[in-house]
Amino acid sequence: MTDAFNYDAWTSALERGELLGGRCQSCETTFGTPVMVCPDCSHRGLAPTPLAETGTVHTVTRIEVPPTGFEGPFFVGIVELEDARLTARIEADDGEPEIGDSVTFAGGLSAAPDGRVAPLFRLD
C-alpha cells in the first residue's frame, strides 16, 4: 500500500492551494475526498491524485441563514470534476451559480470559525 491518502493529506494540500482526490488502485474510480476503503469495490487504499480543476455545478444552494461564526449569504454546492464530486464553496462575481454551470478551482477557503479549510470554486 502506498502512503495512506487521508484527511491530513487532503487538507494540507488544500491549504497549499492544491486539490487532491483519491483514486482507487483497483477499480480506478476517483473520489473527491479521502476514504480508507473504496466505496465502489472495497479495495483498501486510495492514492492521492490531482483532481480536474474545472468542472460543473451538480447542485447548489444559497445559504442565507449560516451557522454561528460564518458570514452569509454564500453559495455551497456539489461540484463535479470528471467522475469525482465534492462539496465546495462557490463564488460568483455577479449572478447566481446554477446547475450545469462551469466552475474553476480557486484554492482553499478558511471561512470556518475553527479555521478549517474548504475547497473554493469560482463561476467561470
Interface residues toward other proteins, by CB under 8 A = 6-8, 11, 31-33, 35-39, 42, 44, 58-70, 72, 74, 76-78, 84-89, 99-100, 109, 111-112, 114, 116-119
CA 2 to chain centroid, in Å, comes to 22
47 makes contact with Zn ion (CB under 5 A)? no
Cβ proximity to Zn ion: between 21 and 77 the closer is: 21
Q: What are phi and psi of 9, to 5 degrees?
A: -65, -40
Between strands 20-24 and 54-63, the pairing is unpaired
Which of these ranges, 5-13, 27-35, 87-95, 105-113, lies near Zn ion under the rule CB under 5 A?
A: 27-35
Q: Which is nearer to other proteins, 36 or 124 (CB)?
A: 36
Among 6, 11, 26, 104, binds Zn ion (CB under 5 A): 26
Nearest to 81 by CA among 124, 21, 37, 18: 21
Nearest to 53 by CA among 22, 20, 92: 20
